[in-house]
Chains A and B, each alone.
Chain A
Amino acid sequence: MNRTLLEVRGLRKSFGALLASDDVDLEVLEGETHAIIGPNGAGKTTLISQLAGNLFPDRGRVLFAGEDITALSAPARARRGFARSFQITSIYPDFTVLENVMLAVQAHSGSSFRFWRPAREEASLRSPASAILEEVGLAGRSGVLAANLAHGEQRALEIATALATRPRLLLLDEPVAGMGVEETQRMIALLSFLKGGKTLILVEHDMDAVFSLADRISVLVYGRIIATGAPEEIRVNPEVRRAYLGEEVAA
């Protein structure tokens, strides 16, 4: 049995009267792809933001590789091996594709209080960045401004940026959102390629993506996790069917 990489205990977050995370318990094992699904407004993005340190919980704890990281900021978590992609694409539009990825490499290789040497001339930043762009299929686009990429390419760039930080845990917030069929297939292929080598948390609406990628699935409804299990268990879980999957699975 794999050991636990991320452990969430009794996480609670409210915005006024809205309870967005209601005593969430979650356990993510090293090497697994763990999907979090749930209807709109279930609190998926709120949960992932608390995991990444972009939001802080009112109560509860987040443990990463045994260390309590509940109070750590997003950059501090990133340095410990968290990487995330955002539901709304978050890149540097005015940097080239290569610069986007090189900067993420830079964040994890030595001090950035260096004022003299042009960063673009550093082979130790450039070659890992190029290798990652190769991996995600953007090698031919490295000199293009990120703003000029197609939507699907920008999503792939965001994954590349996350990978460049050499993360232990990758948090993906709806990686196929807004994509066409072909782009979605390409992204699923990319994620299956990453899967296994990395621990992934996948928040996703697209059930094809979830059921083809996830080792385990947690179902979030009104801020509560109502079930966690293998895809086939989740598919037949009556509570899940009632709360969420309903007609989509029955059909």
Chain B
Amino acid sequence: MNSRIRAIVPAAGLVLLAAVPLAAALLDQPFYLDLVRRIMIFAIAALSLNLILGYGGMISFGHAAYLGVGAYAVGVLAHYGIHNGFLQWALAIGASALVALAIGAVSIRTSGVYFIMITLAFTQMLYYLGISIEEYGGDDGMRLQVKSQFPGLIDLNDANAFYYLVLAILVLALFLGQRLVDSRFGMVIRAAKSNEVRTRSIGFSPYPYRLAAFVIAGAVCGLAGALLVNHTAYLTPEFMNWTRSGELMFMVILGGMESIAGPVLGAFALLLLEDALSGWTQHWQLVLGPLLVLSVLFLKRGLAGLLFAENE
């Protein structure tokens, strides 16, 4: 029974997501296409955070930094008239990986509350850097006049094509993420989270493994940033605001840290709820807050724990 649910839920989810453009067209509600595409982009970001948060036990409170770096990489190149998507996205991934390498190299030497504060501090530095650079719009941000160009391959101005590209990247990220956490490498970062002293005693220094995981997570989130700036066609330092980092953490925790798909569920739950409540009342955060508290109290393993209950 459980194994059947495990197979059916992802397949059903994929079919539902693939049907969204059709449904949006039939109902003449293009807004839904936009909403789900945005949610999937955040799902990719949350999934990347879960690699280090859920599997690696590294409570990074600054993961929005890589959303920002990815977005700025695209935006800045476009600002100088370089619209080639391969170049832009490669820079988004590469620059995020480098920033993650620098932040990780320092912060992974600490642990606990210090790790949380250092990752937060680095991200705030990037946030204020974004605000201070007038050339790129300062705290107003800037428009992305031309979306990333993939000549002959895909046109991101085609809403459906862009939607399916995001869906394909999400599915790929889920698949690669699952490979990663089951691999030798994944076993080491999970072991270092579970019992660091034991892990050192059998011969692993956790540091290089953690740093590599941190860089991978940053790079994937940088790609999500490149998608996000193309989605909004706008770029602001707000992408890197600490509240954004908090939202990503919340998606991970709400969805469930012990599965690759959990954060995707979390992203959908959080952003759909936000959308529904904000349509209903201006004070939607007053309703969302208690709901989130309840979910943390009563769903110890997140939404994924409800769907994919383990039979132990």
State the A residues within 8 Å of B (CB): 52, 54, 73-76, 78-79, 83-84, 86, 90-95, 99, 102-104, 106-108, 111-120, 122, 145, 148, 161-162, 164-165
Chain A positions within 8 Å of B201 at CB level: 52, 54, 74-75, 78, 83-84, 86, 90
Known: A83-B201, A92-B194. A145 touches B312 (CB 8 A): yes
Q: Whose C-beta in chain A lies nearest to the C-beta of B200?
A: A74
Q: CB < 8 Å: which of B182, B204, B312 contacts A112? A: B204
Q: Are A119 and B187 neighbours in the complex by a CB distance under 8 Å? A: yes
Q: Are A99 and B202 neighbours in the complex by a CB distance under 8 Å? A: no
Interface size on B, residues (CB 8 A): 24
* Shortest CB distance B129–A (Å): 32
Chain A positions within 8 Å of B186 at CB level: 115, 119
State the B residues within 8 Å of A (CB): 179-180, 182-188, 190-191, 194-195, 197-198, 200-205, 209, 212, 312
* Shortest CB distance B176–A (Å): 9
Q: CB < 8 Å: which of B179, B202, B209 contacts A116? A: B179
Q: Are B185 and A78 neighbours in the complex by a CB distance under 8 Å? A: no
* Shortest CB distance B143–A (Å): 38
* Shortest CB distance A162–B (Å): 8
Q: Whose C-beta in chain B lies nearest to the C-beta of A84?
A: B201
9 residue pairs bridging A and B, Cβ less than 8 Å apart? A54-B197, A73-B205, A75-B203, A75-B205, A92-B195, A93-B195, A107-B203, A119-B184, A162-B202
Q: Are A103 and B195 neighbours in the complex by a CB distance under 8 Å? A: no
Chain B positions within 8 Å of A161 at CB level: 198, 202
Chain A positions within 8 Å of B185 at CB level: 112-115
Q: Are A112 and B188 neighbours in the complex by a CB distance under 8 Å? A: yes
In the complex, A113 Cα to B158 Cα: how many Å?
Answer: 40
Q: CB < 8 Å: which of B179, B198, B205, B312 contacts A91? A: B198
